[in-house]
Every structure is written in structure tokens, then in C-alpha cells.
Chains A and B, each alone.
Chain A
Amino acid sequence: MKKVVVGMGTCGMSAGAQAVYDKLQDLAAGTPGACELTISGCIGMCYAEPMVEIREDGSRVFYGNVTPQRAEEIFRSHVQDDEPLTEDEIVYLEKADGTVGGTEAAFLAQQQRIVLRNCGTINPESIEDYENAGGYRGLRKALLEMTPEGIIQEMKDSGLRGRGGAGFPTGLKWSFTAGHEADRKYVVCNADEGDPGAFMDRSVLEGDPHAVLEGMIICGRAVGSDFGYIYCRAEYPLAVRRLNMAIDAAREKGYLGENILESGFNFDVKIRQGAGAFVCGEETALFASIEGKRGMPRIRPPFPAEKGLWQKPTNNNNVETFANVAWIIDRGAAAYASFGTEKSKGTKVFALAGKTAHGGLVEVPMGTTINDLVFKIGGGIKKGGTFKAVQMGGPSGGCIPAALGDTPVDFENIPATGAIMGSGGMVVLDESTCMVEMARFFLEFTQSESCGKCTFCRIGTLRMFEILERIVNGEGQPDDIDKLSSLGGQIKEASLCGLGQTAPNPVLTTLRYYLDEYRAHIEDKSCPAGVCTALVDFHIDPEKCTGCGLCAKNCPVQAISGEPKKVYVIDNSICTKCNRCVTSCSFDAVYKR
């Protein structure tokens, strides 16, 4: 029987997957025995959501941008009459003999999916689906055939490094926690994915929650802990719901609780929802938040491996790191280490967003170049724009210019550009992005998210933000560039946690690669990208203006004149640049230059 699978991650749902699912459910109910309807997480092609997959005898056919109407066509033609729609309507197909096709095959062809092995394939709400895909095999092996030392050695041999951004070797980290004796130890999973523009962890939690649980249980065994916390971002309600379902199912099947798989090992897990504080992605702040306090970081040492959550030895890894663990134990360290570069083994998940043609989630071997990610997988720039830069690592990261597009993405080469690997957010920018405004945007974010503990982070980021504000407002002063770089250096030196230590990065990297844009703002009072409102004039495009007069009606200073049904004109000597004409035009006719 055919299996009809609707992608129901947050990206699919927000594109309208629920209506598609409801439609298919009605149709399936009307023709009993025609198909089995089920759901999956996100396969990564967020740009083609909602997606519907028809699976039969080992072949998979994916339709993209499905509306309820199209769903009916697909159902009538493909499911009932066995006639798939034409090739150009299929975004991806995989035949039983392994050949692939479809209009978007290039998106998946370059990928190597370990973390995302089950995302978009299994039903995340079914533990049986996970087991059938090889789930909990790694746990069985770890508990029944391996010693804790053996597990840690395997992790060390795999070369896995923390995927939260810092890239600390995972096996080594585990050995530290294992080496401290205590009546209680904790395993913490950091799912507080705070970088705007990053959604890797959300997709894993929504698409394959058991993989994260299995990794945590194996870690518990290795470090000698019997209790774990998952600290999940509050903005991810679907992830929390699926995690809760997974925990209940795992408990029922005996993978969580007492005497797991009759090995004598006990482990249980609790979910804690964050409450909206970026700094809680920092581990000591995260522990404070779990303890019910204001999420402020503290001085290390003592390191969490010795005194972490509730002052007990604690091992903290992020979602993606844990999602790798069961695969490594099951297939062996050597298989994992065969991917990637000499010092950065394995794969990395990236969230492609911004001006990329194909926004979504991709997993590639470490060492893949930026150009490959942007062009081969991402399909280049939307609407024929020109590739200008990628922003990696969110507010803690930096911009890497297109000229450095050959840089391999790994823990050695990315930091050399001044950016950081970060957790995997990759926002693609085109020529319509002003780099100074971009830096201002990130500083506004880190400035408001600074917890306030360290003076340099609290006040220094505010000063940097103020300087950037005045530059984009056309009030930049000649020594502003020097001030920004010296402040940036001081904040990095004198802050306690990762937030402050990396907050100046977006400014420092743009100063390094786009100094001329800063100069243009300060010296010529112009914004080359035409973004900074104070530095541009407003015009009406005669091609697009329909003469409706709405802009003139909305203009608070009567700077717009014209007659109905003729092209209106803006008098820039009166204009106060309030933007109301832009927001009121229904025809996208007002532009800035």
C-alpha cells in the first residue's frame, strides 16, 4: 500500500501543511485502503513547503508547494490511478534502484545526512518508526557490550567536536565529567537555540526527537549520571510537544527509567523550557536558569565537569552533538571519522536563510566550501541578485565576503576569517544589504541581551551600538572607526562569557572587509546599498506608480504632489524620510536611493 507523508515541521506548518493534511485525511477516509497517511519532520527543503511524499516499494516521490487543491490532484492521480504528475512537478524522487531525480535533486545530492538521517523520513511521533530505522541500537550496544570507558574512547576516536559553536572535543569533555566522583551527576542538553536565523536544533527535535534522547542516555552511561535536563527554547512549542511524546514512549518501552534494557543502568530526563534570554545559551547561565534564577553566567573554574548544575558534576552538550552520538556508537568511530577534514571530523548542519534561493536545512561533510553551500546546494541568490557575503554564527559571528567563498567550512578555516563556526546559522546576503546597518542590527541585539554582569559587555556594547546608530543616521564622526575597533577589542578581553567575548565580532569583521562602506557613511554621508534611510532620497518609480494618490494622502508633510491617475513626485527638500509612503504604497513603487 502507498504511504502518503506530509512534512509537519514548524516550517511546513507555517506554510500551510495542516490544511493539506486535513484535505488528504478527508480523501483517504473516503477511499479506505487507498493509502496510509502519516507525517514526518522537515526534510530540509523549507523553501518548497508544504511537501507531500508518496512512498511505495522503496521509491519516494516528493511534491513541493502543495496546496489543498494540488493535494487532491496528487491523491486522485498518483495515489488512486497510479499516475505520478509530470516530472517537472516533482521536486525530488528516489527510485527503488537508487537513482534520483526531480527538479530540486541538486539540493540533496551534495548532502551527507547523519544528524538529519531520520528527519523527513520517519514519523517523529512514533517510536516504532525510529526503532525500524535502527533507533536505540546504539544504546543497546553501549549498555550491553561496552564499558563507560569504552564509550568515551569511541567518542574520542570519532573526533566529534561540540556542535554548539566552540568545537570542544566531545569525548574529552565526557571524560572530565566521568572523572569526578559525586553522589549525583547531570547530563544537560542545550536546546536553547537563540541565534536569530538558526533553526537546526528545532528541526532535529521536531523531526527526530529520539535521536537526541538516545544520545543523552548513552552520555549518562559514559559519565556516570542518572538524570538529564533538556533546556529547550520557549519559542519552540512543537519541539517540546514531540520531545514529551518521545520521553513517554521511551519510558514505556524501557529505554528510560530504571534498569534500562536490564543492564542495571538507570536514567531519566526532564524538559525545562527557557523563558527568552539569549545569554542562557551559555552553559553556566543555562544552569542558573534551570535552578530557577536569573540566567547569569558565573566565573569558571570550577568548570561544569566539577561543579555544574546544583553544584554537581555536569556534562552539557547541544542538540546536534547528542544527535550524532547513537550513530557513532552504532556504526563505529572510524565510519564517522571518514567524513570531514583532518581536525574537524564528521558533518555539520547549516540553516541556510536570507537571500538564498533555497532556504532550508542542509548537512554537509566538514570542509565543504562556502561557495558550494551557497551555489550548488543553495541554488544561488534569490531574484538574480549578486552574492555579497555570508553571515555565520549569528550575533556572535561575523560576515565573510564573497571573495573568500572558497573557504572550507570547518573549525580551523572559519575562525581564521574572523567569523566563528557558531551553531550553524548561515544567512546569505546580497548587494541590497548594508553591512554597517547589519552590524548595527546585531549590536542592538547583543546589547539588549547582555545580562549586565560585566561592565564592558553591559556598557561597552551600548557605546558601540550608539556609535553605529549615529553612523547609519549620517552623524558619524571621523574617529568613530578607531573607537569601534578599540572598544571591540576591550569588550572581547574583559567579558566573562561567550556573549560578551563574541559580541563585537559582527562589527570587527565588517570593519575588516567593508571599511569603505563605513567610510562612505561617515565621510560622504551616503549608503552604497541604499538602505540607511537618513542617507538616501525617496523616489517614485514612474513605471510602477498607478497614480492612486495614497502616498500623498499619507504623507504628513505634504512632500508628495501629483494628480490622480498620473505619476506622483516626492519633493526631497520637504521630505522627513518617515517611510510612510513606502509602507502605504500597494504597488511597491516608492524606492530609496
Chain B
Amino acid sequence: MSDNFSFQLWRYEGEPGELIPLLQSAQNHFGYIPRRAIRYISGVTGIPESDIYGVITFYSQFRLRPTGKLHIRACDGTACHVSGSRLIIETIEDELGISVGDTTEDGLFTLHTVACIGCCSLAPVIMINDETHGNLNPASLRKLLRKIRRREERTEVTASSHGR
């Protein structure tokens, strides 16, 4: 990941409207907004940390906790809802043993719901990082999650054996 965050801070010219873009690039850089990023931003912009915290917690995009390696965003928009997205979300929770908002213990999956991804004709839909998976049912979803988990475990084994 390129360090766009420091660049943006360095370029900051005093326009208060830059706060949200700064927070977005901090989140892109760290994967979430760590305490120290809030401190940097406050130092550069002069906006009190409390105000920045207020803005962060107002918008649903910002996260104060890191996510897992794979970020599942399950769509619960209207079209997905009438096509059974509740069942899809319950299946993910059951398969991974976590609730919406949580991360699995191995740090692999984080689950969030979103209001609409905008590919309603593929409902019900989930996104795993940047990949979209549509027309799901509980069985195909479990298969998909297991396949991904196996793939991740394999790459991990290969990576660690290479490490040695």
C-alpha cells in the first residue's frame, strides 16, 4: 500500500473540508483508523481529537478496530432482503462462528452487512474484499467459504515453509 496518507497530510492547506478525505486515506493505509492516526490528523489540522472522533463515529464507513484479512460485506439491501439475505447472513454467522461486526479468531474473516452494493439483479449478494459473489443459497455459500478457507490455509503453509 502506498503511503498516500502521509502525502495527503503533508499537502494539507487548511481547508476544514479535508478531514473526511484524510480519514479515508488513513483507513486505506492502516485498514482501520488507529488512535495514532487521529493524533497525527489533529496535530496537522488543529481540529480537536474529540471532534475527529465525533466525525468517525457518525459515518458507518469508518472503523476503529482492524478487520480480518478477508472482509465479508453481506448485502442486506431491499432486493437482497426479499431474496433471502437474512438466511445468507445467518449461514455465514453459523459457518464462521461469529456475529455481524466480529472477526474470526484466526483473523481471517470479518463480517459486516451493508445497505446495498448495487448489483441487485444478482441478489442475494456478498462481497469478499473486492470480489462479488451472487445468486447464493446456504449450500453454495458454505461451499464457497470452505473453499476460501482451504485456499488460505494452503497459502499460509506454503508461505511459512518458504520462510524457513
Given contact pairs A292-B17, A451-B58, enumerate 12 new A-B contacts (beta carbons under 8 Å): A194-B115, A196-B81, A197-B79, A198-B116, A275-B62, A359-B123, A394-B78, A441-B81, A579-B87, A582-B138, A585-B138, A586-B139
Contact stretch, chosen from A82-90, A176-184, A425-433: A425-433
Q: Is A277 in contact with chain B by the CB < 8 A criterion?
A: yes
A205-246 CB contact bits vs B (8 Å, 1 = yes)?
000000000000000000000000000001110000000000
Q: Which residues of B contact A236 (CB under 8 A)?
A: 118
Asked whether A10 and B119 contact (CB < 8 A) given A235-B114, A425-B78, A582-B138, the answer is yes
**When the two chains form their complex, are residues B81 and A582 in contact, meaning their CB atoms are under 8 A apart?**
no
Q: Is B42 in contact with chain A by the CB < 8 A criterion?
A: no
**When the two chains form their complex, are residues B78 and A353 in contact, meaning their CB atoms are under 8 A apart?**
yes
Residues of B in contact (CB 8 Å), total: 45
Contact stretch, chosen from B18-26, B96-104, B154-162: B18-26
Q: Which among B23, B87, B94, B119 is the interface contact of A46 at CB below 8 angstroms? A: B119
Q: Is A289 in contact with chain B by the CB < 8 A criterion?
A: yes
Residue in chain A with minimal CB distance to B118? A199
**When the two chains form their complex, are residues A202 and B78 in contact, meaning their CB atoms are under 8 A apart?**
no
**Complex Cα–Cα for A14 and B117 (A):** 10
A355-397 CB contact bits vs B (8 Å, 1 = yes)?
1000110000000000000000000000000000001001000
**When the two chains form their complex, are residues B59 and A235 in contact, meaning their CB atoms are under 8 A apart?**
no
**When the two chains form their complex, are residues B94 and A580 in contact, meaning their CB atoms are under 8 A apart?**
yes
**When the two chains form their complex, are residues A354 and B87 in contact, meaning their CB atoms are under 8 A apart?**
no
**When the two chains form their complex, are residues B120 and A199 in contact, meaning their CB atoms are under 8 A apart?**
yes
Prevailing SS type, chain B contact patch = helix
**When the two chains form their complex, are residues A583 and B90 in contact, meaning their CB atoms are under 8 A apart?**
yes
Asked whether A354 and B61 contact (CB < 8 A) given A198-B116, A292-B18, A584-B138, the answer is no
**Most chain A CB within a 10 A radius of its CB, from B16, B90, B115:** B115
Asked whether A353 and B132 contact (CB < 8 A) given A196-B77, A584-B138, the answer is no
**Complex Cα–Cα for A236 and B115 (A):** 13
Q: Is B91 in contact with chain A by the CB < 8 A criterion?
A: yes
**When the two chains form their complex, are residues B121 and A294 in contact, meaning their CB atoms are under 8 A apart?**
no
Q: Which among B23, B58, B91 is the interface contact of A294 at CB below 8 angstroms? A: B58
**When the two chains form their complex, are residues A360 and B20 in contact, meaning their CB atoms are under 8 A apart?**
no
Q: Which among A10, A445, A583 is the interface contact of B87 at CB below 8 angstroms? A: A583
Residue in chain B with minimal CB distance to A444? B76
Q: Which among A275, A290, A391 is the interface contact of B24 at CB below 8 angstroms? A: A275
28 A–B contact pairs at CB < 8 A? A14-B119, A14-B125, A14-B134, A15-B122, A46-B121, A49-B121, A197-B79, A199-B120, A235-B117, A236-B118, A272-B21, A273-B24, A275-B24, A277-B60, A278-B115, A289-B20, A292-B16, A293-B55, A294-B58, A354-B82, A354-B123, A425-B78, A427-B78, A579-B90, A580-B94, A584-B142, A586-B138, A588-B137
Q: Is B163 in contact with chain A by the CB < 8 A criterion?
A: no
Q: Which residues of A contact B134 (CB under 8 A)?
A: 14-15
Residues of A in contact (CB 8 Å), total: 58
Q: Which among A196, A289, A355, A359 is the interface contact of B116 at CB below 8 angstroms? A: A196
Q: Which residues of A contact B62 (CB under 8 A)?
A: 275-276
Residue in chain B with minimal CB distance to A533? B86
**When the two chains form their complex, are residues A197 and B121 in contact, meaning their CB atoms are under 8 A apart?**
no
Q: Is B83 in contact with chain A by the CB < 8 A criterion?
A: yes
B67-94 CB contact bits vs A (8 Å, 1 = yes)?
0000000001111011100010011001
Chain B nearest CB, measured from A318 CB (Å) = 16
Asked whether A291 and B17 contact (CB < 8 A) given A196-B115, A275-B24, A427-B82, the answer is yes
Chain A nearest CB, measured from B110 CB (Å) = 16
Q: Which residues of B contact A234 (CB under 8 A)?
A: 24, 61
Residue in chain A with minimal CB distance to B58? A294
Q: Which residues of A contact B87 (CB under 8 A)?
A: 579, 582-583
Give the residues from 41 to 60 in chain A that come closer than 8 angstroms, CB to CB, to chain B.
Answer: 46-47, 49
Q: Is A116 in contact with chain B by the CB < 8 A criterion?
A: no
**When the two chains form their complex, are residues A354 and B120 in contact, meaning their CB atoms are under 8 A apart?**
yes
Chain B nearest CB, measured from A343 CB (Å) = 28
Give the residues from 279 to 335 in chain A that come closer than 8 angstroms, CB to CB, to chain B.
Answer: 289-295
Chain A nearest CB, measured from B112 CB (Å) = 11
B39-75 CB contact bits vs A (8 Å, 1 = yes)?
0000000010000001100111110000000000000
Q: Which residues of A contact B19 (CB under 8 A)?
A: 292
**When the two chains form their complex, are residues A583 and B115 in contact, meaning their CB atoms are under 8 A apart?**
no
**When the two chains form their complex, are residues B94 and A275 in contact, meaning their CB atoms are under 8 A apart?**
no
Q: Is A13 in contact with chain B by the CB < 8 A criterion?
A: yes
Q: Is A468 in contact with chain B by the CB < 8 A criterion?
A: no
Q: Which among B82, B91, B117, B118 is the interface contact of A429 at CB below 8 angstroms? A: B82
Q: Kindly list the 9 A-B residue pairs having the minimum CB-CB distance in the complex, ordered from nearest.
A: A359-B121, A196-B77, A14-B132, A353-B120, A197-B78, A275-B59, A292-B19, A276-B61, A196-B116
Q: Is A127 in contact with chain B by the CB < 8 A criterion?
A: no
Q: Which among A14, A273, A580 is the interface contact of B122 at CB below 8 angstroms? A: A14
Q: Is A351 in contact with chain B by the CB < 8 A criterion?
A: yes
Chain A nearest CB, measured from B138 CB (Å) = 4
Asked whether A353 and B79 contact (CB < 8 A) given A234-B61, A291-B17, A445-B115, the answer is yes
Q: Is A11 in contact with chain B by the CB < 8 A criterion?
A: yes
